[in-house]
Amino acid sequence: MRNKQATQLLFELSQPGCAEAIVPPCDVPSRPLAELVPPEELAETPPPLPEVSEPALIRHFINLSQLNMSVDTHFYPLGSCTMKYNPKRNDRLAQLPGFANLHPYQPLETVQGLLGALHALQQILAEIAGMEAVTLQPAAGAHGELTALLIAAAYFRHRGEHRTTVLIPDVAHGTNPASATMAGFRSVQVKSNTQGLVDLEDLRSKLNAQTAVFMITNPNTLGLFETQIRRIADMVHAVGGLVYMDGANMNAVMGIVRPGDCGADMMHYNPHKTFSGPHGGGGPGAGPVAVKKHLADFLPIPVIVETAPGQYTLDENRPLSIGRVRSFYGNISVLLRAYAYIRTQGPEGLRRVSERAVLNANYLLARVRSFLPVPYGHRCMHEFVASAMKIRASRNISAMDIAKRLLDYGFHAPTVYFPLVLREALMIEPTETETKATLDAFADTLKAILEEPPELVHEAPHTTPISRPDEVLAARAPILKWTPVSESASG
Amino acid sequence: MAYLPQTEQEVKAMLAAIGVQSIDELFAHLPSDVRFQGQLKIPPALSELELTQHMEDLAQRNVGTHQKVCFLGGGAYDHFIPAVVDFIASRSEFYTSYTPYQPEVSQGNLQVFFEYQTLITQLTGLDVSNASLYDGATTLAEAVLMCLSHQTGRKRVIVPQNVHPEYRAVLATYLSHVSAEIITLATPRGIIDADSLARVVNDQTACVILQQPNFFGCVEAARKISEITHAAGALLIAVVDPISLGVLRRPGDYGADIAVAEGQSLGLPLAWGGPYLGILACREAFLRRLPGRLVGQTVDRRGQRCWVLTLQTREQHIRREKATSNICTNQGLMALRATVYLAALGPHGLRAVAELCLQKAHYLRERLQREAGFQPLFNAAFFKEFAVAAESPAEVKTLLEIATDAGFFAGIPLGRWFPELANALLIAVTEKRTQAEMDRLTAILASARTRADSRAIDRKSSMTPSSQRTVQVE
């Protein structure tokens, strides 16, 4: 069954002259190009793109598609990424011609249905957050973080305060410190305690008049709920700082805990995680940001507002706004999928989703912890982090080995080596859309792998199209594009 | 029970295995003062049929480019999308997978991104490309940040007024906490004046931004601008329309250091502005400062050629606060669409599309000038988009309303961003527009102007040649 053609590159399939025309001949009188554009700006030849026939093109990409694991084909317990089932109805509805064929600058009277949906989504996201205002514009979670930190900066500037630091727990996503830097802040790391939660003493010692924002992910990346969240928020507010919640893990708490009620001043959502948007091989996602009232004036422009019942417009005239964070409005088709998902669930459904996500994770935790230690937490939320430290010491099988061997059994690997506080970490997130049978099969497989001959596991995967690529070579001598043989020989 | 496969019996068995009585017990460690009491005030659940009816109703309240003939551009274009693009992009092995953290089971995505990177370098004539960013505007901001960190000590960023106004706005937001100054260069004739540019470029200039074709559709003297920029030791960022590269010189060929593009034209639906695709290519010297994902070629332990995410030490999950950018998730599926689009067209297809845009845009402008009395706002050469002047802002509004009623999205009023150009319209023509559509639009606008008894007057560009506005940003 191995298909060698599958790994040929488009450029190697190229055969001059075999691509067919997709456009008709010109139906208006043509003029020489040099009459229309100064000759020095004209290219003599078009760019050297490959030329492939349509059948070759289809076979190429379909073969490539089959080299991927995906949610629709495999269990994908990639912690922190929330790879849950992507409902087909949402894809279909988001791509209706009345949504897909809208130009961003067409008259607003002609997009009232869309604006109505987006306005409703804003209100729903505000309600789930326990906050008052929402922008849907950020293009990804990290873009939402940046947007929120710029809002914080604008807020303090407006108040005449000069605050320079953002406090970030050591278990945080790497995007948090990177976003803080981009927004002009210095980040300061806050330690976790022995329970894997924010160390309040360490936090206290780092809070001061320079503190602009404390960024917290709750549940955190160890899958644990920060039970002291109210107290933490009070401590941050006491020095005049703001609390930002990274909403990457909202799938665990919808309708159960609202960040705003816990004292967070702002948060972002990852609709591709929480509201089941397909991840697209790494995007597009979106990163809506919700804020409390005192930050609403700083949201990016434009803001969708309702001017009369059922009438919507874009408000650009907002003097305190941080400005624009992207062109046009946002990743609309991702947002429409989120809207469709939420409307399918309703308030009870959303809560039940979180309950089942937590049930599945705790069930898998109960099954796994007998053979793979889970150092932090007796209970988890929607994910947990196991450690392969012990098995590494006893049988020399690492977290990476386990991850690779799982691929042989048809399971996508968990997230490995994150969060950084735990050595040999395996971050497992089953999500609510998996059956007990799948979780049992996964747990049984995991257990069996730990008992396999270590050499077998070291050399895994054995059945995948490729195995253990040389990543050092890739980084030491980067080859980032295809080069024709003649060129690469002379170069 | 939407999307929840566990039966009540299974739930019971699972609770027993965990050692609790109820699901609620799993949340017992959450302090009561953070537990949300009551029910979220959001609309009740809908069945699939009800949801479908609701969403179809919302969609029908919009009027799309499938119902009106679209002459709107301004950075988003109604280009034709070959069927193969939607077909490949709807393979769920592509769209329900994630960032290829496990290369063994992600070679499909990795190879597509490697092919995308190669196609983008071929398209732009530059050395390296990343595997996509969010959109054209944020990508321009990232490119400027690359230049600032490469050109340590140089703080000046020169942005002509004819760069997309929303790109300029996003750039201002991104630079609001960076020690840099944005110099906005006036472009009263629609294109960059070489002498004006030469006067503001100096040894403090980190980079000059050139949009080619620019926001008004005009073709710039790219090589000349590149020379002026480089003579001062500054870097050139070219913002391009990828379709135009079917006929126009590539950024790498006129010396641009970084090329940025909005990839929407390459097979992405308009979708009211997103998701789109940020294209970024650069010279090799900037490789270590490139934001976003990079896919590299290597071999596996069996010696087979394969692909992996590489140079990840630039990225936020390893370098954290020292990362070159915070970008994690980007636009993978959109990069796939662009890859399939470019492969489907090939060099001759891209050239054909570009030539159709060019010829048809010139046809329409000439007819509008001859038969409806519109004067071109600028005299410069143009590619697929052009600006024309009407009598007054009120006339612009009236004409657009009449055209909309007659089935045309005729253009974008420029007063939206340029108060001094409130009497002007920006009109885009893609390969999809037919002669019949253009003739009809011309007739409608001509008759509307006659009816309103407005006389077409030869008006000179009213774009204020405002003295250089220097916007200092702390």
Place of tokens 């816990």: A262
B283-338 pLDDT, tens per residue? 999 999 999 999 999 999 999 999 999 998 777 777 777 777 888 889 999 999 99
In a domain, B307, yes or no: yes
Q: What is the rounded CA–CA span in Å between residue A110 and residue A129?
A: 31
Average pLDDT over residues A429-458: 97
Of B342, B366, B401, the position where a domain reaches its end is B342
Q: Least CA distance to A311: which residue of chain B?
A: B61
Displacement of CA B399 from its chain's centroid (Å) = 28
Q: What is the CATH number of the domain that holds B383?
A: 3.90.1150.10
8 Å CB contact between A170 and A189: yes
In a domain, B362, yes or no: yes
> A196 is written with which tokens?
């894997």
Asked if omega into A259 is within 30° of 0 (cis), the reply is no
Q: What is the CATH number of the domain that holds B282?
A: 3.40.640.10
In a domain, B17, yes or no: no
Residues making up chain A, counted from first to last:
491
> B168 is written with which tokens?
């300029």
pLDDT at A378: 85
* Chain A residue numbers touching B435 (CB-CB < 8 A): 27-28
DSSP annotation string for A394-428: HH---HHHHHHHHHHTTBPPPEES-STTSTTEEEE
Q: Are strands B205-212 and B156-160 parallel, antiparallel or unpaired?
A: parallel
Question: Is there a shared CATH topology between the A89-345 domain and the A355-476 domain?
Answer: no
Reference B273, options A101, A254, A383, A162; nearest CA is A101
pLDDT at B420: 95
Q: Do B273 and A332 touch (CB under 8 A)?
A: yes
> pLDDT averaged over chain B?
93
Burial A408-439 (b: 16+ CB within 10 A, else e): bbebbbbbbbbbebbebbbbbbbbbbbbbebb
Q: What is the DSSP letter of B306?
A: E
> B169 is written with which tokens?
């706005």
Amino acid identity of A389?
M
Asked if omega into A48 is within 30° of 0 (cis), the reply is no
- Residue A240 gets the label, from left (phi > 0), alpha (psi -120 to 50) or beta, of left
Task: Give B93's contacts (C-beta < 8 A, 6+ positions apart).
Answer: A65, A66, A68, A70, A72, A73, B108
Other C-beta atoms lying within 10 Å of the C-beta of residue B143? 30
Please identify among residues 239-298 of chain A the ones whose CB lies closer than 8 Å to any CB of chain B.
254-258, 261-262, 272, 276, 278-286
Burial B96-134 (b: 16+ CB within 10 A, else e): bbbbbbbbbbbbbbbbbbbbbbbbbbbbbbbbbbbbbbb
Asked whether residue B354 falls in the same domain as residue B303, the answer is no
A124-162 pLDDT, tens per residue? 999 999 999 999 999 999 999 999 999 999 999 999 999
Place of tokens 């691509």: A19
Listed by start position, the domains of chain A span 4-66, 89-345, 355-476
Q: What is the rounded CA–CA span in Å between residue B278 and residue B334?
A: 9
pLDDT at B466: 33
Reference B383, options B187, B210, B268, B240; nearest CA is B240
How far CA A333 is from CA of A340, B138, B196, in Å, comes to: 11, 19, 42
- Return the CATH fold of A89-345: Aspartate Aminotransferase; domain 2 (3.40.640)
DSSP annotation string for B209-267: EEEES-TTSBPP-HHHHHHHHHHTT-EEEEEE-GGGGGTBPPGGGGT-SEEEEEGGGTT
Asked whether residue B169 falls in the same domain as residue B226, the answer is yes
Q: What is the rounded CA–CA span in Å between residue B36 and residue A129?
A: 11
Asked whether residue B298 falls in the same domain as residue B444, the answer is no
In a domain, B120, yes or no: yes
8 Å CB contact between B60 and B68: no
> B148 is written with which tokens?
């600032």
How far CA B436 is from CA of B403, B440, B443, in Å, comes to: 15, 6, 11
Quote the percentage of chain B above a pLDDT of 70: 95
Q: Do B103 and A466 touch (CB under 8 A)?
A: yes
Interface test with A, best of B328, B433, B434 (most A CBs within 10 A): B328
Over 70: is that where the pLDDT of A490 sits?
no
Asked whether residue B265 falls in the same domain as residue B401, the answer is no
In a domain, B34, yes or no: no
In a domain, B465, yes or no: no
Q: Do A81 and B98 touch (CB under 8 A)?
A: yes
* Chain B residue numbers touching A328 (CB-CB < 8 A): 75-76, 135, 166, 272-274, 276
Structural domain that includes position B399: 347-449
Domain tally, chain B: 2
Q: Least CA distance to A32: which residue of chain B?
A: B359
DSSP annotation string for A162-189: ---EEEEETTS-THHHHHHHHTTPEEEE
* Chain B residue numbers touching A459 (CB-CB < 8 A): 301
Task: Give B50's contacts (C-beta < 8 A, 6+ positions apart).
Answer: none
Amino acid identity of A348?
E
Q: Which of B91, B117, B332 is opposite residue A65, by nearest beta carbon? A: B91
Asked whether residue B327 falls in the same domain as residue B395, the answer is no
pLDDT at B467: 32
Asked whether residue B104 falls in the same domain as residue B206, the answer is yes
Amino acid identity of B280?
L
pLDDT at B94: 98
SS3 B405: helix
8 Å CB contact between A48 and A54: no
A105-122 pLDDT, tens per residue? 999 999 999 999 999 999
Strands (E), A84-170: 133-135, 165-169
Asked whether residue B334 falls in the same domain as residue B357, the answer is no
Asked whether residue B356 falls in the same domain as residue B299, the answer is no
Q: What is the rounded CA–CA span in Å between residue A477 and residue A321?
A: 45
Q: Do A36 and B358 touch (CB under 8 A)?
A: yes
pLDDT at B325: 84
Of B314, B342, B370, the position where a domain reaches its end is B342
Average pLDDT over residues A178-203: 95
Quote the percentage of chain B above a pLDDT of 90: 89
Q: What is the rounded CA–CA span in Å between residue B60 and residue B43?
A: 21
Quote the percentage of chain A above a pLDDT of 90: 94
Count how many Cα atoms sit within 13 Å of the Cα of residue B184 in the half-sphere of its side chain: 20
Q: What is the rounded CA–CA span in Å between residue B189 and residue B159?
A: 15
Over 60: is that where the pLDDT of B456 sits?
no
pLDDT at A348: 97
Q: What is the 3-state secondary structure (H, E, C) of A452-468?
A: CCHHHHHCCCCCCCCCC
In a domain, B45, yes or no: no
Asked whether residue B301 falls in the same domain as residue B363, the answer is no
B3-57 pLDDT, tens per residue? 999 999 999 999 999 999 999 999 999 999 999 999 999 999 999 999 999 999 9
A37-63 pLDDT, tens per residue? 999 999 999 999 999 999 999 999 999
Between chain A and chain B, the number of residue pairs with CB atoms below 8 A apart is 689
A355-400 pLDDT, tens per residue? 999 999 999 999 999 999 999 988 999 999 999 999 999 999 999 9
pLDDT at B452: 63
ipTM of this predicted complex? 0.97
pLDDT at A444: 98
pLDDT at B455: 45
SS3 B429: coil
Please identify among residues 95-124 of chain A the ones whose CB lies closer than 8 Å to any CB of chain B.
95-107, 110-114, 116-117, 120, 124
Q: Identify the CATH assignment for A355-476 out of 3.90.1150.10, 1.20.1740.10, 3.40.50.10860, 3.40.50.620.
A: 3.90.1150.10
Over 60: is that where the pLDDT of A263 sits?
yes
SS3 B66: coil
pLDDT at A4: 67
Q: Which of A99, A355, A407 is opposite residue B105, by nearest beta carbon? A: A407
Which pLDDT band holds residue B65 (cuts at 50, 70, 90)? very high
Q: Do A100 and B64 touch (CB under 8 A)?
A: yes
Amino acid identity of B237?
I
Q: What is the rounded CA–CA span in Å between residue B361 and residue B367?
A: 10
Task: Give A460's contacts (C-beta < 8 A, 6+ positions apart).
Answer: A401, A404, A405, A407, A408, A467
Query: What phi and psi values does residue A187 have, to the nearest 5 degrees?
Result: -100, 145
Asked whether residue B193 falls in the same domain as residue B336, the answer is yes
Of B290, B314, B342, the position where a domain reaches its end is B342
Asked whether residue B117 falls in the same domain as residue B259, the answer is yes
Q: What is the DSSP letter of B387?
A: E
Asked whether residue B275 falls in the same domain as residue B396, the answer is no
Over 70: is that where the pLDDT of A5 sits?
no
Q: Least CA distance to A302: which residue of chain B?
A: B166
Q: What is the rounded CA–CA span in Å between residue A164 and residue A184?
A: 8
A192-196 LR contacts (CB < 8 Å, sep 24+) = A192/A222, A192/A421, A195/A224, A195/A376, A195/A377, A196/A171, A196/A220, A196/A222, A196/A224, A196/A375, A196/A376, A196/A377, A196/A421
